[in-house]
Amino acid sequence: MASKQFDPASGTRDFLAGELRRRERVFAAARGVFERYGFEPLQTPAFERLETLTGKYGDEGDKLIFKILRRGEHEASGEADLALRYDLTVPLARVVAAYGSRLPSPYKRYAIGPVWRADRPGKGRFREFTQCDVDVVGSRSPLVEAEVVCAGADALDAMGVTAYTILINSRQALNGLMEVYDVPAELAPAALITLDKLDKLAPAQVVAELVEGRGLAQATASSLVEDLTAEDAVARMRKVLADHEAGRVGLAEVDRLLELAGPHIGQERIRFAPSLVRGLDYYTGAIWEVTAPGMPGSIASGGRYDHLIETLGGPDLPACGFSLGVERILGILMDGDEGAAVIDVAVTVMEEEHSTEATRLVGGLRRAGLTAEVYLGGSRKFAKQLKWAADRGARFAILSGPSERTDGVVTVRDMSSGEQERITVSDVFTHLMNRCAM
Amino acid sequence: MASKQFDPASGTRDFLAGELRRRERVFAAARGVFERYGFEPLQTPAFERLETLTGKYGDEGDKLIFKILRRGEHEASGEADLALRYDLTVPLARVVAAYGSRLPSPYKRYAIGPVWRADRPGKGRFREFTQCDVDVVGSRSPLVEAEVVCAGADALDAMGVTAYTILINSRQALNGLMEVYDVPAELAPAALITLDKLDKLAPAQVVAELVEGRGLAQATASSLVEDLTAEDAVARMRKVLADHEAGRVGLAEVDRLLELAGPHIGQERIRFAPSLVRGLDYYTGAIWEVTAPGMPGSIASGGRYDHLIETLGGPDLPACGFSLGVERILGILMDGDEGAAVIDVAVTVMEEEHSTEATRLVGGLRRAGLTAEVYLGGSRKFAKQLKWAADRGARFAILSGPSERTDGVVTVRDMSSGEQERITVSDVFTHLMNRCAM
């Protein structure tokens, strides 16, 4: 029966019950945490006007936007006027611009929803995937970073991610670092992108790339990499940065965040990581990334981005956010699959004339709050209906034939033990509510 | 600040917290009912391959499909290869075809999610809107109709729709009706579409349209409309249909459904409606529509469609479904808006140095399961922070200044009464848990 033609479109997925329930449980865990923090949910449309999205993600990003063809007489033009959202941040900027003072200030919002990117599909890379973001727009208080980091960490805990480390750095600290090591200002941005690879490449490779690819002096590249990879890298960095204006400001940002969020998160799970860069150049203050054992790269990341909302077309408001890589996180948690649903009671229908009674029974069970199903197939064979009850994961089955009806009872079968008991029809709801509550 | 340029795209909506929570609560109510019935959730992608959708909705429907432009080097072709889903039924047919025997049989699924149609936006008509469907694929048992109708009715109850009527008819009964009144077979489909207007137009108007527009004989049209609009229309129809083969089969379908579902739903809320037609010609058996006082048209509808899955590209399996018009239903329920969120505790920050303590306090409150927020603004004025706490709908505010810190206490303010109490820091979590539980 299965054939390529019935597969979902390339890079997209159908979620059947087991997988969907697992995903929803993980999202609900995050949602519960964000609500407890007073973040408000926001849901924006799947598509935006094309001009809202283009030019916001760089040339490479723009190519990955799914564009929607104009309709009616304009369809033949081959032009697009709408596009599927690429992330949850541009819609946030638009909402902040559109609703202004009708939003609380600061505006603490969370959003969990699909985004679409025309990336080449691959293992763990999809064209439709879910993002999960918390952001605070409109406050420069360092408490904001702490709120956002603690909310993200609590969400990871609630989702069931047991081991992770939050690495903290600051844009200012990185600027200071470049100045301390005499990296010319024009070479600094590219040099930082190379330094960010210290978690993947050998130190010598990074030095080589800094010299050959980025144009740094050999001595500069060597001492920079040596200091950043030393056993006591953090101490060395604290020392050199403290001597420098931008470095001091950056260190203070990092320390304030460690001081505010550390006690809540656990000091062993959050630390200063002087070589953490984060590729995106819109960050302006503290930045962070969450790593988990056995996962290359990060499972979540964020930082302060005080001018991005304006760049994206919104008002000039400071902002800070944390994005949890829920698709990757679901990958880590993969072992806990839900499997088939478990229902409380399966009601068999051994004779056509018994349908009305079966409907009444199953309706009563549902009213009593139980998950109950009635046999909808065509077979009147006992064995077949029992197999159906077992396949549905039923804890109990109700059987009723002529002898039961004569006596005004039904037979209740415990599907795990096979034990059967005859119960008066008027008692069966209470009987099963009690047994299912155990 | 607000300007057209920041509005969501035409026909789409941003859902801010209050409205979104209200929608989610209504959807969750339906979901809870469907789960209790043993329906399984299904989530398919937002877009499908274009050929999966085209040709499935008639010429008018095809024009309303949002098509996605090909990407990369193919973008310039102006061609589309993907399209946003138009409903939840075609994706269901594809899933049934794709997963075959890996799905339970019969496959009872529900889906609640957005669909997209390039309709002209208007009052209550959107280009992105949510559909809510329950369907059973793979069984011809009349218990299926009862399951689906009862699940839909229970969902309406759970959503809070207090008054509604389920009108039942059957395709076979309609076929019988046409034969009984000697409507030529080739005129019957169009005549039925006109008869469906009896709930909107005067009987004379319907007669005129049947004669002038549909080509029926004057005598035929008059007696048909007279019988269908008579005080005792149901009795007349039962009598004439009982004399006729297709009519008898149709009546039996209706009566079986009334017998199986009536006791559960309440006999006064479900009845035979001999002039109910339902526009869509894919229905093959029982059909139904739900009306609510004060709402023109229907708020939900469904029926048996035994060949649609095959027509849509799936295997030839019998099916039956119920679609709840959740956007219209949300309209009926509109009065119960959630308004602003209510949080349990607002923690003020009167001095910058007090931030660490405030973070510790708010973290402890959240660990205790309370919804708590810490002041993230820049003002250190008492009145301003108190206004913030009131705006957030906080039940309690925590205040702490030098005198409190000296005494190792915090001040807890009841935001509705204004009463303040000094509580030892170590007792504040238990104290507020108890007060918030009241």
User: Scanning every residue of chain B, which has its alpha carbon at the shortest distance from the alpha carbon of A130?
Assistant: B45
Could B41 and A20 be called an inter-chain contact, meaning their C-beta atoms sit closer than 8 Å? yes
Instruction: Dig out the tokens for A149 from the structure.
Output: 């980091």
Residue B353 — very low, low, confident or very high, per pLDDT cuts 50/70/90?
A: confident
Higher pLDDT, B124 or B179: B179
Out of B36, B63, B144, the one facing A366 most closely (by C-beta) is B36
Contact A17, B41 (CB under 8 A): yes
Nearest to A67 among B13, B69, B264 (CB): B69
- Best of B82, B139, B395 to substitute, by most chain A Cβ atoms within 10 angstroms, is B82
CA of B14 to nearest chain A CA: how many angstroms apart?
5
E-assigned strand segments in B273-313: 286-291, 300-304
Q: B340 pLDDT band (50/70/90 cuts)?
A: low
Q: Which of A129, A155, A162, A149 is nearest to A29 (CA)?
A: A155
Between B354 and A2, where is the model more confident?
B354
Residues B252 and B320 in one domain: yes
Give one word for B119, left, alpha or beta, with left for phi > 0 and alpha for psi -120 to 50. beta
* Interface predicted TM-score (ipTM) of this complex, two decimals: 0.91
Q: Please answer yes or no on whether B371 and A140 come within 8 Å at the CB atom.
A: no
Are A313 and B6 an interchain contact pair (Cβ–Cβ within 8 Å)?
A: yes
Shortest Cα distance, chain A CAs vs residue B293, angstroms? 26
Answer whether B344's CB lies under 8 Å from B432's CB.
yes
Is the same domain home to A208 and A143?
A: yes
Q: Do B144 and A376 touch (CB under 8 A)?
A: yes
Is A295 a domain residue? yes
Helix (H) or strand (E) holding B167: strand B165-170
Which residues of chain B make contact with A24, given a CB cutoff of 8 A? 41
Kindly tell me if the per-residue pLDDT of B86 is higher than 50.
yes
Over chain B, what is the mean pLDDT? Answer: 92
| Residue B257 Cα distances to B150, B168, B289, angstroms | 10, 8, 14
- What's the pLDDT band for B334 if we cut at 50, 70, 90? low
Indicate whether A5 belongs to any domain.
no
How far apart CA B112 and CA A314 sit, in angstroms, is 32
For residue A28, tell me if it sits in a domain.
yes
Angle at A174 between CA A172 and CA A175, to 5 degrees: 65
The structural domain count of chain B equals 2
Given this model, what pLDDT does residue A199 score?
A: 84
CA-CA distance, B351 to B355, in Å (whole number)? 7
Q: Could you tell me if A323 and A272 lie in one domain?
A: yes
A38, closest residue in chain B (CA to CA):
B373
Whether the predicted pLDDT of B392 surpasses 60: yes
Q: Verify that B354 and B300 share a domain, yes or no.
A: no
Contact A36 B146 (CB under 8 A): no
- On whether residue B3 sits in a domain, the answer given is no
pLDDT at res. B333: 85
Mark whether B371 and B232 lie in a shared domain.
no
Quote the CA–CA distance of B209 and B126 in Å, as a whole number.
Answer: 31
Amino acid at B104: P
Q: Are residues B364 and B314 in the same domain?
A: no
CATH number of the domain at A25, please: 3.30.930.10
Please give the backbone phi and psi of residue B274, each rounded to the nearest 5 degrees, phi first: -60, -20
Distances (CA, A) of B253 to A318, B142, B146, B224, B249: 64, 8, 11, 22, 6
Last residue of a domain, one of A336, A356, A389: A336
Structure-token match 């007792």, residue found: B427
Q: What residues have CB less than 8 Å from B210, skipping those under 6 apart?
A: B191, B194, B195, B216, B220, B221, B224, B225
**Final residue of a domain: which of B291, B307, B336?**
B336
Closest residue in A to B93 (Cα) is A6
Is A287 part of a structural domain of the chain?
yes
Residue from A12, A68, A366 whose CB has the most chain B CBs within 10 Å, to mutate: A68
**Res. B429: pLDDT tops 60:** yes
Are the C-beta atoms of residues B347 and B336 closer than 8 Å to each other?
no
Which tokens is A31 given?
């949602």
Residue A4: inside a domain = no
- Note the pLDDT of residue B2: 44
CB B346 within 8 A of CB B382: no
Nearest CB to A17 within list B7, B41, B259: B41
Q: Is the model more confident about B280 or about A239?
A: A239
> How many other CB atoms sit within 10 Å of the CB of residue B100?
16
**For each successive 10 residues of chain A (438 residues), what is the average pLDDT?**
78 95 95 95 97 87 94 92 96 93 93 96 92 96 95 96 94 93 92 89 94 94 94 93 92 95 94 86 91 89 91 88 94 66 89 87 92 92 93 93 91 95 93 89
Residue B336 has a pLDDT of 54
Least CB–CB distance from A356: residue in B80, B105, B260: B260
B19-56 tens-digit pLDDT: 999 999 999 999 999 999 999 999 999 999 999 999 88
A·B CB contacts under 8 A: 296
Instruction: Identify all chain B residues contacting A143, using CB atoms and an 8 Å cutoff.
Output: 349, 355, 358-359, 374-376
Yes or no, beta carbons of A49 and B9 under 8 Å apart: yes
Taking contacts as CB-CB distances below 8 angstroms, the residues of chain A near B36 are: 366, 369-372
The phi and psi torsions of A198 (rounded to 5 degrees) equal -60, -25
3-class DSSP string for A283-328: CCCEEEEEECCCCCCCCEEEEECCCHHHHCCCCCCCEEEEEECHHH
- Strand arrangement, sheet containing B47-49: A47-49, A80-84, A67-69, B67-69, B80-84, B47-49
Do the beta carbons of residue B30 and residue B100 sit within 8 Å?
A: no
CB atoms within 10 A of CB A421: 13
Considering the domain boundaries, does residue A247 fall inside one? yes
Regarding whether B324 and B200 lie in a shared domain, the answer is yes
pLDDT (tens digit per residue) in B158-197 = 999 989 999 999 999 999 999 999 999 999 989 998 998 8
- Residues A242 and A129 occupy one common structural domain: yes
Range of the domain at A391: 345-437
- Chain B residues lying within 8 Å of A79, measured CB to CB: 78
Task: Say whether B378 and A9 touch across the interface (CB within 8 A).
Answer: no
Which of A16, A103, A259 lies closest to B99 in CB terms?
A: A16
Collapsed DSSP state (helix, strand, coil) of residue A217: coil
CB A263 to CB B360 under 8 A?
Answer: yes
Question: Given A277, A304, A336, which residue is the final one in a domain?
Answer: A336
Residues B349 and B329 in one domain: no
- In this complex, the residue of B5, B47, B97 whose CB is nearest that of residue A12 is B47
Q: Do A1 and B97 touch (CB under 8 A)?
A: yes
pLDDT at B1 over 60: no
- Same domain assignment for residues A60 and A124: yes
Residue B357 sits in a domain of what CATH number? 3.40.50.800
- Would you call B378 and A141 a contact, using CB atoms and an 8 Å cutoff? yes
Same-domain pairing of A317 and A194: yes
Measured in angstroms, the CA of B168 and the nearest CA of chain A are apart by 18
What local confidence, expressed as pLDDT, does residue B314 receive?
82
Residue A359 lies in a domain: yes
Burial A162-180 (b: 16+ CB within 10 A, else e): eebebbbbbbbbbbbbbbb
Tell me if residue A38 falls in helix, strand or coil.
coil
Q: Is B304 in the same domain as B362? A: no
